[in-house]
Structure 1
Amino acid sequence: MSQFAENVSKRLCSLDVFRGMTMFLLIAEAAGFHEHFSTVTEGTVFSGIALQLHHHPWNGLRFWDLIQPFFMFIVGVAMPFSLRKRLAAGNQKKVTLHILRRCALLFCFGGLIALCL
């Protein structure tokens, strides 16, 4: 029994499920599922659900408008867990350098994307 307890992941399963659901929604949209679902459900009781899955000009809050805030929520919830794990494995200076490096890379990639648009 104790061997099983040692192998159990210390990850927050609910956060992983939420992250997976959000990624599934994005992949399904990129694959054209939402458009196909709209076509199939047109004129049925499910057409309202299909309408919620489209990105559109602002007409009030729809489910699809929550995808980006979902990612921000996921990041905010995951950060303390990640930081605690890194601090337990290494020293604070190493963790701080890792954070600064990540911030610089994200800033540079964001700048590159802005230049390309």
Structure 2
Amino acid sequence: MNGPPLSWQEQKILEEIETELRTDRDLDSELSAMRVTPLRRARFALREWGRSRARVVLLLLSVAASLALLGLAVAAPRSVVLVPAVLVWMLTVTTLLNHGVRQRGDQRRKARR
């Protein structure tokens, strides 16, 4: 625990609370019903992995499309090519930023645990 140690009064109150919680059968049954089973945990992990994989595939496709349209825009600078190039580039940057924010959020959540 960070910070100053608990006073004897605080320790006594904390011990009383812990004792009450240990003897509370209703709370115990509710908490045991909330436990995550291994099957649920595996299903959640697979779902999250699938979502992140889809994001990575979208990111790679948008980067490839951006580069291809950028090459076309440089070779033939017309508005027919420039508009899609800018739109796909904006999608790519947005996806990159969103992916980075999600990664940072995941790291912060793991650090808190």
Is TM-score (shorter-chain normalized) higher than 0.5? no
Larger radius of gyration: 2
Category of TM-score, reference length = shorter chain: 0.3 to 0.5
Normalized per residue, the structure richer in helix is 2
**Structure 2-normalised TM-score?**
0.38
